[in-house]
Amino acid sequence: MFRWNEENQQAQQAVLTRPAVTASKEVEAICIDILNAVKTQGDAALLKMAKEFDKRETPRLLVPVEEINQAEQLLSNELKAAIETAYANVKRFHQAQLPKDIKLTTQPGVLCELKYQAIEAVGIYVPGGSAPLPSSVIMQGVLAQLSGAQTVVLTTPVKADETINPAILYAAKLCGIKTIVESGGAGAIAAMAYGTESVPKVNKIFGPGNSFVTMAKQLVAQTIPGMAIDMPAGPSEVLVIADERANPEFIAADLLSQAEHGADSQVILLCNSERIIEKTQQALTEQLAKLSRKDTAEQALANSSLILVDSVEQAFAVSAQYGPEHLILQLADAQPYLNLVKNAGSVFVGDYTPESAGDYASGTNHVLPTYGYSATYSSLNLLDFFRTYTVQTISKNGLRELSKAILPLAAAEGLDAHANAVSIRLEAMNNER
Amino acid sequence: MFRWNEENQQAQQAVLTRPAVTASKEVEAICIDILNAVKTQGDAALLKMAKEFDKRETPRLLVPVEEINQAEQLLSNELKAAIETAYANVKRFHQAQLPKDIKLTTQPGVLCELKYQAIEAVGIYVPGGSAPLPSSVIMQGVLAQLSGAQTVVLTTPVKADETINPAILYAAKLCGIKTIVESGGAGAIAAMAYGTESVPKVNKIFGPGNSFVTMAKQLVAQTIPGMAIDMPAGPSEVLVIADERANPEFIAADLLSQAEHGADSQVILLCNSERIIEKTQQALTEQLAKLSRKDTAEQALANSSLILVDSVEQAFAVSAQYGPEHLILQLADAQPYLNLVKNAGSVFVGDYTPESAGDYASGTNHVLPTYGYSATYSSLNLLDFFRTYTVQTISKNGLRELSKAILPLAAAEGLDAHANAVSIRLEAMNNER
């Protein structure tokens, strides 16, 4: 237990410091090679990697549409219904985010518009690795579908048996995704960034992944003009604020549900009761023993802290300083405190709102800024699949009046040609009379 | 004149290719040194640079509030009124962009919210260089003001006489900016990114600048967790689409108003009339001769192209391929074509809507994605000063029902602890009965 008020500022900062995440030069060099190979050789490079890395004898790149359509037959009724509920809730919440154009006359004869345009082609990466992640498809695919993007590409590595999990395929089907590429890692990112014979080139790439995926996304965003990625990536993290009446079993379960994500996950408890912290510590030990991902969770707990604070208000101040990806509030009545929330990605209010609700099915997005980026970055939302541009339409009289603002400013900035573009039009108007 | 339909695809691509912009390793090395100096020595490093680079004997860092307040006395009535009109129009258009929170019950007992929070501390860089840019203050300062950001820092280099142009100070005053730092280049970016004794640390840095400013912004965004910047920078550009009845004088004036920005600016005309292109060429020569920034504009014109297309529709297709920062439509009736606009930053409709209207005073923002980034990036808008986060509040019954979606998905993804965080709560509910 870390007693916040008994420590100096340096120790306080240290307990909130995240483990350093630095990509190795080796990962960077490998990614650059892969990007170049896919850029120059296209499909051939992807197929070669499928043979080498995935040990596929006769690899293929695209999942046939019939396979996507038939995947649901391989799912249990429970899982199928679960995917459908998650899809429906996420769709409902994000549909409410559909943007509206703005049209406004700023002064007579000067019409200004703000317009939203779906990003034309988007790519979604879904990690394979230790577990299939249908939730990751939903959290990104629903948004692409709602935006009306013309091209949606999903890339994901195959399992050892060379198939893609049917839960992923069914989630993709619900999201209307028809282009599913059997490719993972930096190669998949390269394929979407440059385009190949089989894989359409996209403008923006979404999705989490391992260090190769993260590095490849950074590299394409830095080197290809017009290419964008969703947000900076970092290890997952949760911060729980609990009061003296909170349930230590619930707290421990929430901390562990984050800790099992990865050994680099960080979990923090801020609590104003020494007794609850001690009981949480016990519950952690008991619950940990039963987990299949015990080792991972145990390593993550080693980076983590149970912190005693003086008050709930202080807990919110410490949380704002940390800026957690997930913020869970196990408080008797959280409402009065909600205006103290700062720099959090997603907030879970009350004893019966565990993080896993938002991870899967409440409707909010589980793609969230982490590693302190919640000070400036948004949780993934529908606008990430749109761009805005402006339009102005000015009448002759509108320009005549507006010239009184344009001409002195152009003169002050020493930009003759800017002034001339207006005065040449004013002259033309005067000549018309 | 480039005849689009008489050239092959390679030549077509070449004519739309932007001049390469690569930051030198030298610029990067200098910026890294400056960032480190400011990070470790704070104000002392800024003062040292003011002596060395700006040749100031007794440099100061902050502009006293009285100087900001009194600056308007140094302005002509015309310029003062111009700044006020620009401020009012930009404010009106961006005020209409103020976001509204969303609150939605996705299924009974499951309340989801999307909330907007102003980014707490923002920094605005305003270049000094060859001309003062009060418009640059307005285009960023108004948005910071409307967002309600707690901290707004403006940095700008002093002129040779060691003062800041009063037009900049007055624009800042209208925007409610009280912290104005006399510092330019990479040092100014470092000061805002790390904070110094005099300069508050910010979370997001906005504003254009020279290659040192651009590099410093990139470096702090890449290395400081949580730090964000506005958008990738690139040379300014305009594309004009004109029909057979367009006024060649107006076209030439618009092309030149872009060309005078910098030698690396790019200007493109797409027109379906050979006669209009020829007349525009003549008008360019005549108007160019009279400009004070003739040399700059002339160099920019060397990168630029007048392109003959078959039809207005084809012009829009070529424009979408290029993705211009500014798109000017000198068409008899542009309305039927507006749905063909793609990948443009800001659009100027009709013969009497020159780019300089948007650069200064129409109300739209003049900070726009360039260099092909308009395929994915938005023109600067009020939401760039906000971040979103989500909140969910689930009742006991809500969780009981939602568990039917969460538990199968957690099982499918092999995440026990995610499931446990729900089942432990269901058990507690059952025990209550």
Instruction: Estimate the crossing angle of helix A185-194 against helix A211-223, to 10 degrees.
Output: 20
Mean pLDDT, chain A, as a whole number? 95
Q: CA–CA separation, B397 vs B406, rounded Å? A: 14
Chain A closest CA to B260's CA: distance in Å? 7
Q: CA–CA separation, B214 vs A364, rounded Å? A: 35
Q: Distance between alpha carbon B279 and the CA centroid of its chain, in Å?
A: 34
Contact A253 B341 (CB under 8 A): no
pLDDT tens string for chain B (433 positions)?
999 999 999 999 999 998 877 778 999 999 999 999 999 999 999 999 999 988 899 999 999 999 999 999 999 999 999 999 999 999 999 999 999 999 999 999 999 999 999 999 999 999 986 677 899 999 999 999 999 999 999 999 998 888 999 999 999 999 999 999 999 999 999 999 999 999 999 999 999 988 999 999 999 998 998 899 999 888 899 999 999 999 999 999 999 999 998 888 999 999 999 999 999 999 999 999 999 989 999 999 988 899 999 999 999 999 999 999 999 999 999 999 999 999 999 999 999 999 999 999 999 999 999 999 999 999 999 999 999 999 999 999 999 999 999 999 999 999 999 999 999 999 999 998 7
Catalytic, A326? Answer yes
Rg over CA atoms, chain B: 26
Q: Is A269 helix (H, G, I), strand (E, B) or coil?
A: strand
The yes-or-no verdict on residue A124 having pLDDT over 80 is yes
Q: Which residues of chain A does B120 touch, with a Cβ-Cβ cutoff of 8 Å?
A: 342, 375
Pick the catalytic residue: A325, A355, A366, A432?
Answer: A325
Q: CA–CA separation, B59 vs B55, rounded Å? A: 9
Name which of B281, B133, B11, B215 is nearest A410 in CA terms.
Answer: B133
Spatial neighbors of A157 by CB under 8 A, at least 6 apart, are A54, A127, A128, A129, A182, A183, A184, A185, A188
Q: Which residues of chain B does A295 touch, with a Cβ-Cβ cutoff of 8 Å?
A: none
Whether the Cβ atoms of residue B370 and residue B234 lie closer than 8 Å to each other: yes
Q: What is the pLDDT of residue A368?
A: 96
Q: What is the pLDDT of residue B129?
A: 66
Q: What is the pLDDT of residue A106?
A: 98
Q: CA–CA separation, A407 vs A413, rounded Å? A: 10
Q: CA–CA separation, B277 vs B275, rounded Å? A: 5
Nearest to A425 among B250, B334, B374 (CB): B250
What interface predicted TM-score (ipTM) does this complex get?
A: 0.95
Pair of tokens at residue B372: 């092909």
Nearest to A89 among B106, B226, B369 (CB): B106
Q: CA–CA separation, B144 vs B127, rounded Å? A: 18
Q: Residue B350: left if φ>0, alpha if ψ -120 to 50, beta else—which one?
A: left
Q: What is the pLDDT of residue B130?
A: 66
Q: CA–CA separation, A149 vs A119, rounded Å? A: 6
pLDDT digits (tens, 9 = 90+) for A301-349: 988 899 999 999 999 999 999 999 999 999 999 999 999 999 999 999 9
The yes-or-no verdict on residue A238 having pLDDT over 90 is yes
Contact B110 A362 (CB under 8 A): yes
Residues A5-20 have a mean pLDDT of 92
Q: What is the pLDDT of residue A303?
A: 82
Contact B102 A96 (CB under 8 A): yes
Domains A2-20+234-363 and A25-229 share a fold: yes
Contact A356 B114 (CB under 8 A): no
Pick the catalytic residue: A72, A237, A326, A355?
Answer: A326
Chain A closest CA to B393's CA: distance in Å? 5
Q: What is the pLDDT of residue A129?
A: 66
Residues in a beta bridge with A240: A269, A328
Domain segments of chain B as ranges: 2-20+235-363, 25-229, 395-432
Q: What is the pLDDT of residue A326?
A: 98
Spatial neighbors of B212 by CB under 8 A, at least 6 apart, are B27, B30, B31, B34, B185, B186
Q: CA–CA separation, A381 vs A32, rounded Å? A: 30
H/E element, B113: strand B110-118
Q: CA–CA separation, B141 vs B123, rounded Å? A: 9
Nearest to B357 among A135, A360, A402 (CB): A402
The hierarchical CATH code for the domain A2-20+234-363 is 3.40.50.1980
Substitution target from A98, A201, A204, A392 for chain B, most B beta carbons within 10 A: A392
Query: Scanning the structure block, which residue is given the tokens 């074509």?
Result: B337
Q: CA–CA separation, A330 vs A324, rounded Å? A: 15
CB half-sphere exposure, B120, CA atoms < 13 A: 16
pLDDT digits (tens, 9 = 90+) for A352-387: 999 999 999 999 999 999 999 999 999 999 999 999
Residues in a beta bridge with B110: B107, B394
Rg over CA atoms, chain A: 26
Q: What is the pLDDT of residue B377?
A: 96
Q: What is the pLDDT of residue B366?
A: 96
The hierarchical CATH code for the domain B25-229 is 3.40.50.1980
Nearest to A389 among B107, B344, B363 (CB): B344
In A29-178, DSSP assigns E strands to 102-107, 110-118, 121-125, 151-156
Contact B406 A97 (CB under 8 A): no
DSSP 8-state class, residue B214: H
Contact A346 B389 (CB under 8 A): yes
A261 is in an annotated binding site: yes
Torsion angle (degrees, nearest 10) of CA A74, A77, A79, A82: 140
Q: CA–CA separation, A255 vs A257, rounded Å? A: 6
Q: What is the pLDDT of residue A54?
A: 86
In A272-411, DSSP assigns E strands to 305-308, 326-330, 346-349, 386-394
DSSP 8-state class, residue B336: G
Pair of tokens at residue A1: 């237990």
Whether the Cβ atoms of residue B357 and residue A390 lie closer than 8 Å to each other: no
Residues of B annotated as catalytic (active site), given as ranges: 325-326
**Topology given in CATH for the domain delimited by B2-20+235-363:** Rossmann fold (3.40.50)
Chain A residue with minimum CA distance to B388: A378
Contact A361 B398 (CB under 8 A): no
Q: What is the pLDDT of residue A77?
A: 98
